[in-house]
Amino acid sequence: MRLYDIEITSPLLLGTAQYPSPVVLLDAIAASGADIVTVSLRRETADGSGAGFFDLLQQTGCRILPNTAGCHSAQEAVTTAQMAREVFGTDWIKLEVIGHSDTLQPDVFALVEAARILSNDGFKVFPYTTDDLVVGEKLIAAGCQVLMPWGAPIGSGQGLRNPGALRAMRAHFPNVAMIVDAGIGRPSDAAQAMELGMDAVLLNTAVAKAGDPEKMAQAMAQAVEAGRMGYRADPMDRRDMAVPSTPILGLAELA
């Protein structure tokens, strides 16, 4: 998988929030095999007390993908992204512009606006979006080379609420890197996303809040690999009726 001309080996991206301790976080990242971890700018405070957390993440060797979590307008997201570029030293940004406080659904109008501004400013934008084809087209026109449609509301663990829409996105944008972001709760959800042809899965809460985050991270890593292999194997189509696996021809006829 290539993301903005950077080759990525792991189809699992991992968030870094809500872990019970730094040690658990590091163990989970190692078990996941992730190449990319996301982090909110809010972890880095003005007085520099968050620098320890950034140093911790650098120990993993993973590429840092800052996000604009908690932003509710295009201007707020753009400002946060510009600050993140200074703090983390990267032009990669996971762009979140929240439009609904309960579902945390993206404000797609502000999202497209912010994506255009940031792309023109040299950012490599990873937009957290819905599974709407028109929004996807507008984000690509704004300069995005990656789409990150949600599977379900952030932190809900509901899995893929609309697999048909995600399948349609994959078919409509065959050459665009696509990462399912949000809603993944179980390894089976991650495998399903990859079976639809997604390039990767980004998750956080499912691992951080598991009883054993390290074991769950390992399970998710195996699930995305199994799903990717299954997709590449060209699975059989679903059928409305049963089809016998044993041929009827040649069976004995009893009078």
CA distance 22 to 112: 35
Nearest to 83 by CA among 128, 144, 40: 40
Both tokens assigned to 44: 């880095």
Please tell me which residue in 94, 124, 209, 215 is annotated as part of the active site.
94
Q: Can you tell me which residue has the tokens 């940031």?
A: 118
Give the contacts of 108 (CB within 8 A, at least 6 positions apart): 99, 129, 130, 132, 135
Mark whether 94 is an active-site residue: yes
DSSP 103: T
Nearest to 15 by CA among 140, 173, 145, 128: 128
Active site residues: 94
